[in-house]
Structures are given as C-alpha cells and as structure tokens.
A and B are shown apart, each in its own frame.
Chain A
Amino acid sequence: MNFKADFSHWLDLPWQDKAIGLENFDAIKVLNFGDVSINVTIFNTWIVIALITLISWIATRNMKVGVKPTKLQVVLETFVLWMQNETRETSGSKNIQYLQMALGLFCFIVVANLLTFIPWFRPPTASLSTTMALALTVFLSIPYFSIKNAGIKGYLRKFIEPVPLLLPMNVFSEVFSVFAMGLRLFGNMLSGVMFAGILSAFIPFIAPLTMQTLGLLTGSIQAYIFALLALVYTSSVRENSD
C-alpha cells in the first residue's frame, strides 16, 4: 500500500483555488491510501473532533465541586447550563437526550464555524456533505423522539392532522424542513467563505477582515439556529396531557 500525504493545497488560501465551485472543498485530496483518498473536509472534521475532545478532556480532568474550580470549568459549566435552559424551554421536556443532541450539534458546528478565522482552514460546514449528514441525523432522530414521547400511534397521527387529505403535504414538509436546515447552514458558510475570497481579490488587506469578523457572528448564530431547529422538530410530537 502506497501512502501519500499531500498538504500542498494547505498553503493556498481558500480563494486561490484554481476552480472555485460548489465542490471545491470535497475535491481537494489530503491523504492518499492507495485507491482510497481522504479529502480536506473529512480531515478538517477530524481536527474539529480532536479539538472538542481535547478541550473537554482538559476541562473535566480535575473537576472540583468545592471552592475553587478552574476557569475553563466555570466557562463550560455556564455554557452547558445555558444550553440546558434553552433546551428545556424549547422542547418542554426534561429528557436529557434532548440536551445531548443539542449540545453535540451546537459544539461541532460552532467549533467548525469559528475556526474559519484561521485563513487556511476550510470549514467542514461549508461542504454540502457535512451539513446534509447533520440534517440526516436530525431527520432520523425525529421518529425516535416522537415515538418515545407519544408512542407509534401518536407519531403517525401527526401525518393525518388536521385532515387525512393532507398526508402528502405533511410528508413533504417533514422531509424538506429538515433538509432545508442543512442547506441553510451550507449556504451561509459557503457564502461567507466566497464573499471574503471575492472581496480579497479587490482589497486584499483590511476589508476581508471585517467580513470575517461578521462571519464569526454569523457562524455562531447559525450553530445556535441549527440546534434550536433540531430541538423544535424533534419535540414537535409530545405526549398528550393524560
């Protein structure tokens, strides 16, 4: 097996790619194992996962309940508590699995989006395959949470409400509302990257900085929206008040 690592593309800035297109991030190969090659999206996803794991490991290494917790622990506790509040308000349930799903989605997307401030980092969320995979996760967890909340009858009753005539419409909206979520994240991140790229072709020095600063705000808001919408969709079927 011939192994080849090719990091030459990493020296190009994202807007210096030869073919700026929708598929440009997925077309850049980083590692080659014989026939199998790993593209830059998957590699950057690994970087994001490693970063999240490292931060969580450092923060929870010496956890203290008592007088003086570390600064990182305080920050992460505040963050988790905030997310817990949001989850309870949005889903109306104290089920911890909602919190786990929302935290997982939010952490991954926000770290991936915030890493765009490194100029050579191509965010994995600017690739349609990543965002569609995230949307697929939400799409599969809707029946899980719904059946868990209201039973299989309660889940299927959602499709024939308010009248059974609307069954195809309900199925369509079920599918497309989730995949529109993936498209929204992809469009936002791609437009951020490409706008900074096009602007830097005209004014290379200060102007792209402002757009990237705006991109940090947009990235965090998009991560929040993705987690929030996932919560709304998964908790749309609740148990009837017995």
Chain B
Amino acid sequence: MDSYAIIGAVSVLGACICMGIGSIGSALGEGQAAAAALTAMAQQPDEAGRIRSTMFVTLAMVETTALYALLIAFLTLYANPFWNYAINH
C-alpha cells in the first residue's frame, strides 16, 4: 500500500470517527435541553413562547460542538495538508 492509499483511507476513517463521536455529546445535550424546555412549557404554558425562543438559541449553541467536529471532518477530507506533502515528496 503506497502513501496515497494510506493517507486517503485514514482521512476517510478519521472523518467518519470524528463525526460519529463528536456528535454524541451534542446530541445528548440537545436532548436534555429540549426535555427541560418541554417540562417548563408544560408547567407554565403562558411563558411557552419565551421558553421556545430561548430553547432555539440554546439548541443552536449546543450544536456548535458537533459543527466543530464537522469542520474537522471537512478539513481532513477536502483540505488535508498531508496530501500536498505526499505529492511533493
């Protein structure tokens, strides 16, 4: 197996593992945030609109960690610096 094949295989594998493990935490966190918001909405239906808007903001902020994993996955797939190194050497 030459270096191109190794780099390609490890990049794809690394991107998949990065997305898979990286999204676990944010998925759990989003579930907890949504569950807490639903409980609060059920207890105080008058404040539902305000809770919902706050919940959306919180969800988008929690989602950020998964997005960092996504960025790393994109970097390894499309902007991998080791490709250029292997081509030049």
Asked if B34 lies at the interface with its beta carbon under 8 angstroms from chain A, I say no
Q: Determine if B67 and A188 form an interchain contact, defined as CB atoms under 8 angstroms apart.
A: yes
**Chain B residues within 8 Å of A218, by CB:** 60
> Which residues in window 173-190 of A have CB below 8 A to B?
180, 183-184, 186-188, 190
Identify which of B7-15, B41-49, B71-79 touches chain A.
Answer: B71-79
B60 contacts A21, CB within 8 Å?
no
Interface residues of B in 51-78 (CB under 8 A from A): 56-57, 60-61, 63-64, 67-68, 70-71, 74-75, 78
Number of B residues, CB within 8 Å of A? 14
Q: Which 6 A-B pairs have the closest CB atoms?
A: A187-B67, A21-B78, A184-B64, A22-B79, A221-B60, A187-B71
- Check B74–A225 contact: CB distance below 8 A: no
Q: A221-B60, A222-B60, A225-B61 are in contact. Are A21 and B68 (CB under 8 A)?
A: no
8 A-B pairs in the complex with CB atoms less than 8 angstroms apart: A19-B78, A21-B79, A22-B74, A22-B78, A180-B64, A184-B67, A188-B67, A228-B57
> Chain B: interface secondary structure?
helix
Chain B residue at minimum C-beta to C-beta distance from A180 = B64
B-side residues, CB < 8 A to A, are 56-57, 60-61, 63-64, 67-68, 70-71, 74-75, 78-79
Q: Give the chain B neighbours of A166 by CB distance below 8 A.
A: none
Contact with B along A199-236 (1 / 0, CB 8 A): 00000000000000000001001101100100000000
Give the interface of A toward B (CB within 8 A). Answer: 19-23, 180, 183-184, 186-188, 190-191, 194, 218, 221-222, 224-225, 228
| A191 contacts B78, C-beta separation under 8 Å | no
Q: How many whole Å from A25's CB to the nearest CB in chain B? A: 13
In contact, B68 and A187 (Cβ under 8 angstroms): yes
Contact A22/B75 with A191-B70, A225-B57, A228-B57 known, Cβ cut-off 8 Å: yes
B71 partner residues in chain A, CB cutoff 8 A: 183, 186-187
- Which residues of chain A are within 8 angstroms of B78 by Cβ–Cβ distance? 19-22
